[in-house]
Amino acid sequence: MSKITVLVLTDRLACFHSLKPFLFYGGSRRFDFTDSADYCLRKDKNQILVMVRQFIKPDFVDTELLAKLRAKYRRIAFFHDDAGGGIPRLEVLPYVDLFYSKALFKDRSLYKRSLYGKELYSDYYHTKYHIDDAKAIVRAVVEDEAELAKLRLSWNVGIGDYPRGKLRQRIGTAFARVAGPAVASSFYSRRALPKDPVSTNRGTYAVHARIGLTSRATISFQRKLILDRIEGDDRFLIGMVSQRQYNVEVADSRIVLSPFGWGELCLRDFEAVRSGALLLKPDMGHLETWPDVFKNDETYASFSWDAEDILERTTFYLDDEKERRRVASNAWESYRSQLASLEARFEGIMTEVAGE
């Protein structure tokens, strides 16, 4: 297979989640990593370009740059790196051969609609509850239906480096910015996957619900709804703690509550599964993602976007330990099986990227 250039924004999310398959299944022997579009245009000799976490900082799609890259490369694949099904950079589509995303709406026609806040759930809270963002941005939509055929599902944060170790990951990212992303692999946790986290989880805490608010109103509103519903219920562990304490608590919680954040997908979704806890989360039925641990009452427990049934759902699973363990075990086995197929999935994607 031809060598591939990877143009990447080198930050912690890239180094310890999004880039993991590139780092462990080829690294610098197979991929040339760069954070410079100028290098791509002036010096790169490869014919295939992969773009990762581009046009995020700043939040602006440079179509002039895309046109130049399109003129140079035989194949271009864009790896969209937001945590949700919404795509705020649809302007990229005409300039690339393939567009991979961590998550996609099952109903692809939604990409032809202007969603408030670019996510289906932010649009929901804006429409139903009249929640407005301070700096609302109107995003591009798909105008040519044929462009939708370029959309593909890649992988989400579930494949990444766990448990979260902020200092270790920050140091690894700093080295990666100097020596190149491939060096980040040396800073990954070497902790092996547990054999049966459901059995080793002591269940010290009933429901882990240490969630905070964000700077965007349509994102925070769901969390406010949840916090209002669970207020005064001592089954829920709330408030903010250090990352270390958070990790300890999640590892021994019977249920982990994981609301939407900047996207539907959150690190704590997979922290819950890896700890043998039951994942309790707003309904994910509108979304496709991989690894997928979001089959209601089979690998997670859903509640409505209005959180009206959150207490009922919590009580059901706290009162039925056998059922809670069944769903948590299903999630773990599904997750472990999908991780085992990551290399094969990555190889298939790279074959498609290369057009071979």
Q: What are phi and psi of 75, to 5 degrees?
A: -135, 140
Does residue 184 share a domain with residue 102? Answer: yes
Peptide bond into 181 cis (omega under 30): no
Cα end-to-end distance, the chain, whole Å: 8
With cut-offs at 50, 70 and 90, classify the pLDDT of residue 166.
Answer: confident
Do residue 329 and residue 348 come from a single domain? no
Please name the residue that has the structure tokens 């562990």: 237
Same domain as 218, residue 173: no
Task: Look at residue 185 in the predicted model and tell me its pLDDT.
Answer: 95
Q: Is the pLDDT of residue 356 over 90?
A: no
Instruction: Let me know whether 22 and 70 are in one domain.
Output: yes
Whole-number Å distance between alpha carbons of 268 and 213? 15
Of all residues in the chain, what percent carry a pLDDT higher than 70?
Answer: 100
Residue 171, SS3 per DSSP: helix
Whether 327 and 282 map to the same domain: the answer is yes
- Residue 212, domain CATH: 3.40.50.2000
The residue range of the domain holding 74 is: 4-188+341-354
Q: Tens digit of pLDDT for each residue in 309-339?
A: 999 999 999 999 999 999 999 999 999 999 9
For the chain, give the mean pLDDT: 96
CA distance readout (Å), 161 to 80, 217, 297, 321: 19, 30, 27, 30
Q: How many domains does the chain have?
A: 2
Domain check: are 348 and 326 in the same one? no
Q: Are 343 and 25 in contact (CB under 8 A)?
A: yes
Question: pLDDT of 143-155, one tens digit each?
Answer: 999 999 999 999 9
CA-based nearest residue to 316, from 296, 291, 289, 290: 296
DSSP codes of every residue in 49-77:
EEEESTT-SS----HHHHHHHHHH-SEEE
- Both 143 and 234 in a single domain? no
Do 17 and 156 sit in the same domain of this protein? yes
- 82-134 tens-digit pLDDT: 999 999 999 999 999 999 999 999 999 999 999 999 999 999 999 999 999 99
Its pTM stands at 0.95
The answer on 158 and 304 residing in a single domain is: no
Q: 125 and 75 in one domain?
A: yes
Distance CA 290, CA 85 (A): 12
